[in-house]
Amino acid sequence: MITRDGTATLLDLRGAIPAFIHISDGKLHDVNMLDILPVEAGAFYVMDRAYVDFERLYAMHQAGAFFVTRAKARMDARRVYSAPTERATGVICDQRIMLNGFYSAKHYPEHLRRIRFKDPASGKTLVFLTNNTAVPALTIAALYKSRWQVELFFEWIEQHLRIKRFLGTSENAVKTQIWCAVATYVLIAIVKKELHLETSLYTCLQILAMSAFEKTEVSRTLQPDRSPQESPDSDNQLILFDF
């Protein structure tokens, strides 16, 4: 989950499709999005440090969901237990901790899992927090890394769907343009997944834009190497007017 310019997005990483989007005026703090986020038991919610609020995270924990986030630099906590790790994998420590702060301990009275991981690619050391104690530490690190897909989603929207400039300045105009862009992305992503296409989303968008007024089926348009099928009309141009 990520918030950018007042738009909070929860991306389903199984298909790179938004599962939840909330558009605000930009003044709403990121962490408040957790109050309106639909929580599904058994699901993993991956978020950055802006969403670290132990009362809200504990509510998510009680709902049966799992979260993965990064610890803040000055988090006050004590180690309860350390699990054995293989430092060669990048996992420096895998611990169970309890919060020490009066309010934080009151808001999250159970154990948390803290994983310190050194990214072999960048050399940076990251500290993860999660309430899941079953999956391996490397899986937690991989889940957090997959959060980058949300950044890519925003970049794709901005680059390819002309959302850098708005056609109107009213709240209705801005929201309408954002929702149209998101709906376009979702439709193309669904088509790409359903047809098992290896073509990029941008290529699919370009092909569909060029053939918007043709009668050719979408599957044939995006898969031109398929054997041609007979059509009742020889002309693929859409007839707009009857003479």
- Going by the DSSP 8-state scheme, the letter that residue 228 receives in this structure is P
Domain presence at residue 231: no
Same domain, 90 and 210: no
Answer whether residue 232 is part of any domain. no
Contact (Cβ atoms closer than 8 angstroms) between residue 114 and residue 97 = yes
The angle that helices 148-160 and 171-194 make with each other, rounded to 10 degrees, is 110
Examine the domain organization and report whether 80 and 142 are in the same domain.
yes
pLDDT value, residue 212: 65
Q: Is the pLDDT of residue 11 over 80?
A: no
Range of the domain at 50: 2-150
Mean pLDDT of 136-162: 77
Longest dimension (CA), the chain: 82
For residue 7, tell me if it sits in a domain: yes
Q: Checking DSSP bridges between strand 44-46 and strand 17-23, what pairing results, if any? A: unpaired
Q: Is 205 helix (H, G, I), strand (E, B) or coil?
A: helix
Q: Write down the pLDDT at residue 25.
A: 66
Indicate the pLDDT class of residue 16, thresholds 50, 70 and 90: low
Asked if residue 234 belongs to a domain, the reply is no
Q: 103 and 49 in one domain?
A: yes
Q: What is the structure's pLDDT at 120?
A: 84
Share of residues in the chain with pLDDT > 90 (%) = 35
pLDDT confidence of residue 164: 58
Rounded mean pLDDT, 203-222: 70
pLDDT-derived band of residue 76, with 50, 70 and 90 as boundaries? Answer: very high
Q: Is the pLDDT of residue 98 over 80?
A: yes
Same-domain status, 122 and 175? no
Same domain, 92 and 111: yes
- Last residue of some domain: 94, 121, 150? 150
- Structurally, the chain folds into a number of domains equal to 2
- Whether 233 is covered by a domain: the verdict is no
Indicate the pLDDT class of residue 115, thresholds 50, 70 and 90. very high
Q: Are residues 21 and 131 in the same domain?
A: yes
pLDDT at res. 26: 64
Q: List strands edge to edge, sheet with 125-130.
A: 44-46, 66-70, 125-130, 112-118, 91-99, 77-83
Q: Long-range contacts: 32-40, Cβ < 8 Å, 24+?
A: 33/1, 33/3, 33/8, 34/59, 34/60, 37/1, 37/8, 37/10, 39/63, 39/65, 40/65
pLDDT exceeds 80 at position 28: no
Q: Are residues 119 and 165 in the same domain?
A: no
Domain C-terminal end among 92, 122, 150: 150
